[in-house]
Every structure is written in C-alpha cells, then in structure tokens.
Amino acid sequence: MARKGRVDRGLLRKTDATGRLVWYVRVYHEGKERRFGSFASKTAAREFYEKAKREQKEGRFFPERYQARHRPKPILFQEYVESWLETQPLKGKKPTTVHSYEGRIRKRILPVFGSVALPAITLAP
C-alpha cells in the first residue's frame, strides 16, 4: 500500500484545534467519499485503511459501522423492561402475581441494570 515518497493514497493529515497532528482516512465506497478519523498516528490510520479496503474487496464493508453519527442510540435496559411489561400477555394471571413480577423487577433488577445499555449486558464468564 505504500506509494512513492511514502505518500499513501487515502491517508490525510491535518492539524486539529489544539495544534496536534491527526490522521484521517478517505475511502471511496459506492461512488461516495467517506472519511474516517482522527487517528493519532499514521500507522493506526494505515491499518484502518488496509482493513477497510480488505473488507471492500470481500464485500463486507459497511461505513455506517465506523461512523459514530450514524450509530443508533442504544436502548437502556430500563426502557426495554418497561416496554416488555406493557406488552406481556397477563391473561389468566392473578393481579397479585403481576404485581409481584413488577415489584421484583423494579426493586431488584432495575437498580442494578436500569441505566445500562441493553447490548452491554452479557452472561458472566
């Protein structure tokens, strides 16, 4: 990927607001220029560029995955539980059973996991 005079295609360097040199990567995907950055070193930018080009050749490059502004906001566990409780079929269950379920969730589970993003919750090793 190195070019004459160590000029790499797709690697751009700029100075940020603090005067620090940062590196950006430019990749053309589906006829559009996509920029990714700000890498602290040229090596890190080059590694990302090579990874992106490899993914493009294999047909599994999705630029939205790397751009933060396109990432959807993750759902919090508390939001999921509240919507889940509303949609649960509670037919045939006594009101005390339903109240017991909700109480356990609100008193024991939500204080621990309520403000955690749903994808961040995994099984313990």
Whether 125 is in a domain gets the answer no
Q: What is the pLDDT of residue 75?
A: 86
Whether 8 is in a domain gets the answer yes
pLDDT tens per residue across span 87-123: 777 777 888 888 888 889 989 999 998 888 887 888 7
User: Which residue's structure tokens are 């006594």?
Assistant: 94
Domains contained in the chain, number: 2
Q: Among 70, 87, 102, give the residue marking a domain's end.
A: 70
pLDDT in tens, the chain (125 residues): 555 665 677 888 888 878 888 888 888 878 888 888 778 888 888 888 888 888 888 888 777 677 666 556 788 999 998 888 777 777 778 888 888 888 899 899 999 988 888 878 887 66
> CA separation (Å) from 82 to 72, 74, 75, 85, 103?
20, 15, 11, 5, 12
C-alpha 84/C-alpha 82 separation (Å) is 5
Task: Tell me: do 66 and 82 sit in the same domain.
Answer: no
Task: Tell me: do 62 and 16 sit in the same domain.
Answer: yes
Contact 104, 80 (CB under 8 A): no
Domain membership of residue 35 as a residue range: 4-70
Whether 48 is in a domain gets the answer yes
